Amino acid sequence: MENQKYAKIFKILLVVLLILSVGVLVWGFLTGFEANDGAATNVLLYWAYIVIGIALAAVICVGIYIRATTDPKSLVKLGIVVLGVAVLAGLVYLISPGNPAVGYSGATLPSASELKLTDTILNLAYIVGGCAILSIIVGEVVMAIRKK
C-alpha cells in the first residue's frame, strides 16, 4: 500500500515537471531564443539544471531511504564508498598541475583555480574511464575462466 502512495506522488511530480518543462520550452519558442541576448536560452538551460538536480536528489534520497529501511548495514558500505570517492577526488586535485592553456585565444584567460579544476576533472575522467575498461577486461577473463 505504501509503494502505491509513493508511486502516485512520483507520478504527480513527474506530470508537474513535464508541464513546467513544456511551458518553459513553448515560452522560449514564442519569445525567440536569440532575442533579448539569449534570455530564453539561459532560462531553458537553468531549468534543465534544476530538473537534473531534482532528478539526482530524488534518486539519491530514495536510494538511501530504501537502503535504510531494507538493510541498514548497507549504509555503512555506502558511506565507505562515498568517502573513498571523496579521497580519490582530493588526491587527484592535489596532483593536478593546473598548467596554463596552450594556444588559448579567448578574450579572458582562465584563472589558476579554473585551470586546476579543469585538470582535476580531466584526470578523474581518465581514471574512471581506465577503471571501466579494466573492469570489462577483468570481467571477461573471469567469465572465460569460470566457463572452463
Q: How confident is the model at residue 146 (pLDDT cuts 50, 70, 90)?
A: very high
- The 10s digit of each residue's pLDDT in 8-19 is 877 888 888 889
Residue-averaged pLDDT of the chain: 86
Q: Are residues 65 and 77 in the same domain?
A: no
Question: Is residue 71 helix, strand or coil?
Answer: coil
pLDDT over 90, % of the chain: 32
Q: How confident is the model at residue 55 (pLDDT cuts 50, 70, 90)?
A: confident
Q: Are residues 78 and 44 in the same domain?
A: no
Say how far apart CA 113 and CA 97 lie, in whole Å: 10
- Residue 84: domain span: 73-98+109-148
Q: DSSP assignment of 108-125, as one string?
A: SPPPHHHHHHHHHHHHHH
Q: Are residues 35 and 6 in the same domain?
A: yes
Q: Are residues 44 and 16 in the same domain?
A: yes
Q: How confident is the model at residue 60 (pLDDT cuts 50, 70, 90)?
A: confident
Q: How confident is the model at residue 1 (pLDDT cuts 50, 70, 90)?
A: low
Q: Are residues 131 and 83 in the same domain?
A: yes
Quick one: pLDDT at residue 109?
Answer: 82
Question: Is residue 111 helix, strand or coil?
Answer: coil
- Check residues 115 and 10 and name the one with the higher pLDDT: 115
Say how far apart CA 69 and CA 57 lie, in whole Å: 18
Q: Are residues 66 and 77 in the same domain?
A: no
Under DSSP, the state recorded for 37 is: G
- Check residues 81 and 9 and name the one with the higher pLDDT: 81
- Phi and psi torsions of 102, nearest 5°: -90, 130
